[in-house]
Amino acid sequence: MLRLLGAFSLLGLIGWVYGEIYFNLGSNVVAWVVHESKQPLQILTKRGEWKKAASMTPGDLAGALITRHVEEGLRWSTLKVRRPAGAWRDALQSILGAEVHVVVIQPEHFEFSASYLPKFQVTTSVERLKTERLNFVITANFRDPQGKPLGYIYHQGKQVNAAFKEWSGSFFVKAGRPYFGPKSLLDEVPGAIEEATQGYPAVMKNHTVFSYIDSKPDAFFDGSKITYRALAGMRRDGVIVFLLSGDGGVMNVSEAAELARKLDVQHATLLDGGRALQYSLNTEDGPWHFAALNTELDIRRHPFDRQRSPVFIAVRKRAPEIIRVGQ
C-alpha cells in the first residue's frame, strides 16, 4: 500500500510539474477559483495587511511594491494580491499566491518597436526575446481566430497592417520616443509614425479614466471579466509603465485602470490579455518569462490549444552614444 501511495504521489508530482511548465497550472488554478468572485482585489501592504486596491493611496501602493530587478532605466516590481472567494478558494490562493507586476522603463535608455515574423507567423515572447536580443517583450495586437493581427502595425516608418476601426488604443513611436494611450495622441504628437500597434480599449487620458471603463464595461469589451490583463501607459515625464497580471493576479479592467492611475500614469491602453498574455524580461539572473497558458504544445482542443501571437512590442537597450544624446 505504501508503495502504491508513493507511486501515485510521484505521478501527481510529475503531473503538476508538467502542468506548471506547459499550462502555468498553479496560476490558472488561482485564476479559476476567483474568476466569479464579486469581491474586490486586495493588495498586501508594506505593513503586512491586506487592503482593498481601491482604498489604497498612491503612497500605499508605492510602499507595497516589492523590487525584483533594477538596472539603469528599468525597474521590475511586484504586488502581492488576493481576491476573497470563500473558504477553500481562499486557502488555495494562500498556498499558491497571486501577483501583479509593474515594469517601469525610461525611454532615454531603451528603444521601442513592433516585433513580428514574416507574414505575421505566430510566435512567442520567449522566441522574440532570444532572437532579437531584447530586454523586454510583450504581446501587442489582438488577433483573429486564424492568428492574423487586428489593427494597424507600423515598423521602420512603414505601415504593414491595416487599421481596425473599433480599436481605440495605441502604442506608437515618433522621433524615437514611445507613447501609449488613446489613438487621439497620434494626431496630437507631431511627426511621422516610426513604430506602432493598436490596442483595445484605451483606458485613460490626462490622468482621467474614461467613463465607459466603469459605466459600460461590457458594452464593447469584457471589462468586468476577471482575467489576465496587460495595461501599458506613460507618465507625464514620458516614462513608460506596464501593469501586468502575473501568476494568479487576474483583474478586471477597472481595477487595472485604478492601479495605473495611482502609479501616476497619464495616458494608457490595454494590450492583448486573457489566455494570450505573455511577456519576457531579461534580468541579471537570466531571462524570466510569463505565459498565461500553453505556448508550446500543439493541442487543438479549447481551452488547452497553443497560444501564440503574431505581433509583440519589443524593448531594447539603446546604444551608448544614443543615450548620451538623449541625456
This prediction has a pTM of: 0.95
Complete DSSP assignment for 256-322: HHHHHHHTT--EEEE-S-GGG-EEEEEETTEEEEEESS-SSS---STTSS---BSEEEEEEEPPHHH
Res. 314: pLDDT tops 60: yes
Is the per-residue pLDDT at 258 higher than 80? yes
- Decide: 125 and 281 in contact? Cβ < 8 Å: no
CB-based contact 20:27 (threshold 8 Å): no
pLDDT at 7: 62
| Percent of the chain clearing pLDDT 90 (strictly above) | 85
Separation CA 181–CA 171 (nearest Å) = 7
Are the CB atoms for 79 and 66 separated by under 8 Å?
yes
Rounded to whole angstroms, how far apart are CA atoms 203 and 190? 22
At residue 1, the pLDDT reads 65
pLDDT digits (tens, 9 = 90+) for 198-244: 999 999 999 999 999 998 888 778 999 999 999 999 999 999 999 99
Q: pLDDT class for 327, splitting at 50, 70, 90?
A: very low
Is residue 207 within 8 A of residue 237, CB to CB? The reply is no
Q: Which of 206, 177, 38, 22 is nearest to 110 (CA)?
A: 177
Determine contact, residues 196/153, Cβ cutoff 8 Å: yes
Residue 319 has a pLDDT of 85
Q: Say if residues 269 and 200 touch (Cβ distance below 8 Å).
A: yes
Domain residue ranges in the chain: 2-326
pLDDT at position 325 is 47
Residue 318 binned pLDDT confidence (cut-offs 50, 70, 90)? very high
What Rg do the C-alpha atoms of the chain give, in angstroms? 20
Q: How many residues does the chain have?
A: 327
Question: With 70 as the cut, is the pLDDT of residue 8 above it?
Answer: no
Confidence of residue 103 (pLDDT cuts 50, 70, 90): very high
pLDDT above 90 for 189: yes
pLDDT mean over 136-162:
95
